[in-house]
Amino acid sequence: MKTFKYRAKAVDGTTVDGVIEAYDEFEAVNQIRRTCPVVESIKPVKTEHKVNVDLNEPLWVSDKTLAITANQFFIMLKAGLPMARVIELIAGQTTDKLMKKILNACAADVSAGYSLAGSLEKNGKKIPAVFIETVRAGEESGTLENSFQSLEKYYSRAHKTKKKVKSAMTYPIMVLVIAIIVIAIVMVVLVPTMTDTLQGMGTELPGVTKALIAMSNFVGSYWYIILIVVAVVAIALFAYGKTEKGKLVYSKIRIKLPVIGRITTYNAAAQTANTLATLIAAGLPLAHALDIVSRVIDCKCVGEELNKAVAELENGNSLGDALASSKYLPPMLVEMIRVGESSGSLEETLRTIGTFYNEEATSAADAALAMIEPMITIILGVVVGFIVIAIYIPMFNMSAGGYR
């Protein structure tokens, strides 16, 4: 709700100054005219908003929360409950603080007679456009229950895929972090304590030992500078990746990498097919649905191609022809879209191909992880072997000299 300050003329001709809360200026004027027929002026009141940061509140609504919420909407609407009451019940049940805040705001708007999609668009800045547009399409076509059912399946599938990849990545990442910490401790603590001993042996130190001591001295002397440089570079790269140009550049780099590129391509294909199928099922026109997909897809370079395809669709071309020149989407996806269009079963075809590419992305991720683990082991073995050899060669040389 917004606050408006107004001046109006009452029925008896007296001037009335007041403040009123309404969804927008039109509603405010209608409310004022109930008591004051003539509205002379009205303007929104600028209020100072205090930023209350809740560290326990999520930064965005998760796929799991969206799936659960969509399922609750489907069940309650199917039972015949009024929309405003449904929103209040779900808001009271959810444990996600961000979703609770959004739904509580929506409940007030919907009770005042506004659509759920419009209220979600106003209050749910951290809810994906796919969710909002599917709800809007369901409201406009009178198939809101089916829209929520589609959303539940879509976000359940997305949550399971992300959860599997995340769990698979946990082990190698933890091993790598622990290894870096151990090596840093060895370089900063262990090697310096042995440097005097090695240099006091009275023998010429081999090059590998001198290199280890030089690296240890450098890390020990400039560790804080190294940390600052690494932090600055990481923050700069992260900030650049948040810009539109950065997203495009990073997506092109990812999609061209040997192993990661295949996973990125399969994920983009699966996301394109699944999201498009969900939006079409909700009743959105194909061009509008493709436009939404182009804006929400994770891979920015694929999103740009989809955005160009929207213009071709609006010019009368088929979706298959519009995507035929794509450099980043798999050719099989384009061909299956053509088959779906020609057979009149595009939605079903998209769901089938989306499931296929989900499985392909998961298999590619598993294969990549199977390669990463031995690679980490080999790299750690080389580093540890270098340290051990650098320390023990002088000792072996001294022992051999003493023996002779």
Q: What is the pLDDT averaged over residues 284-304? A: 89
pLDDT at 404 over 60: no
**Residue 213: band (very low, low, confident or very high) from pLDDT cuts 50, 70, 90:** confident
Q: For residue 192, which amino acid is it? A: P
Helix (H, G, I), strand (E, B) or coil at 296: helix
Output b/e per residue, 201-213; b: 16+ Cβ within 10 A: eeeebeeebeebb
For helices 144-185 and 129-141, angle between their N-to-C axes, nearest 10 degrees: 170
Residue with tokens 């080999």: 378
Q: Can you list the pairs that 13-20 forms with residues at least 24 positions away whose Cβ atoms lie under 8 Å? A: 15/40, 19/45
Do residues 102 and 123 touch, judged by C-beta distance below 8 A? yes
Per residue in 65-116, pLDDT (tens digit) is 999 999 999 999 998 888 989 999 999 988 888 899 899 988 888 887 788 8
Confidence check: pLDDT of 153 > 60 = yes
Mean pLDDT of the region 209-223:
84
Q: Which residue has the higher pLDDT, 4 or 237?
A: 237
Determine the number of helices (DSSP H) and then strands (DSSP E) in the chain: 16, 3
Span 346-362, average pLDDT: 89
The residue among 50 and 198 whose pLDDT is bigger is: 198
DSSP helix/strand/coil, 41: strand
pTM for the model stands at 0.69
Helices assigned H by DSSP within 257-285: 260-281
pLDDT, greater one: 290 or 164: 290
Tokens 């879509």 — which residue? 154
- Position 59 scores a pLDDT of 61
